[in-house]
């Protein structure tokens, strides 16, 4: 089952999402182990591993999209963390989310900001940037 895309994806997942990503994979093991594999192979092994757009920009795009869609709160929190992990600043995360008020309305932006607040507080407690 192991292959080049899986290996590349697993490394990329750890670089971007760290422990939070591993927990998602772990939680899929009993219900849909193949989906855990796809999640590593396609988003991380194929997409995030592509050159042509740096990881900071990729995470800004993802935080923007998940804030705008507004229906995937756990994944938004994971990607706010991911953005900070790859070097996006808290300020840039907040600016990205605020901008979504223009494209998806104030409630979407508000809920995004509250998600960021939660992530920032958890990171403060761990002494992370």
Pick 14 or 92: Cβ nearer a copy of itself: 92
Contact residues: a copy of itself, CB under 8 A: 24, 27-28, 30-32, 34-35, 38-39, 42-43, 46-48, 50, 52-53, 56-58, 60-72, 74-75, 91-92, 94-111, 113-114, 116-117, 120
Question: Which residues touch 21 (CB under 8 Å, ≥6 apart)?
Answer: 13, 14, 78, 82
Pick 18 or 74: Cβ nearer a copy of itself: 74
Q: Closest approach of Cβ 2 to a copy of itself, in Å?
A: 15
CA distance 98 to 96: 6
CA distance 23 to 79: 14
In what helix (H) or strand (E) does residue 36 lie, and over which residues does it extend? helix 33-39
Q: Closest approach of Cβ 15 to a copy of itself, in Å?
A: 16
DSSP 70: -
Pick 14 or 73: Cβ nearer a copy of itself: 73
CA distance 59 to 105: 21
Q: Closest approach of Cβ 127 to a copy of itself, in Å?
A: 18
Q: Closest approach of Cβ 87 to a copy of itself, in Å?
A: 12
CA distance 47 to 39: 11
Pick 84 or 109: Cβ nearer a copy of itself: 109
């Amino acid at each position: 089952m192991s292959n080049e895309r899986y290996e590349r994806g697993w490394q990329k997942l750890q670089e971007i999402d760290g422990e939070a990503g591993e927990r998602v994979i772990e939680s899929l093991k009993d219900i849909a182990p193949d989906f855990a594999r796809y999640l590593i192979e396609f988003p991380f092994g194929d997409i995030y591993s592509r050159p042509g757009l740096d990881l900071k920009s990729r995470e800004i795009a993802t935080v923007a999209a998940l804030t705008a869609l507004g229906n995937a709160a756990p994944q938004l929190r994971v990607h706010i963390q991911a953005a900070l992990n790859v070097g996006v600043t808290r300020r840039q995360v907040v600016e990205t989310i605020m901008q979504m008020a223009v494209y998806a309305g104030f409630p979407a932006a508000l809920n995004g900001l509250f998600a960021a607040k939660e992530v920032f507080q958890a990171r403060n407690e761990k002494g992370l940037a």
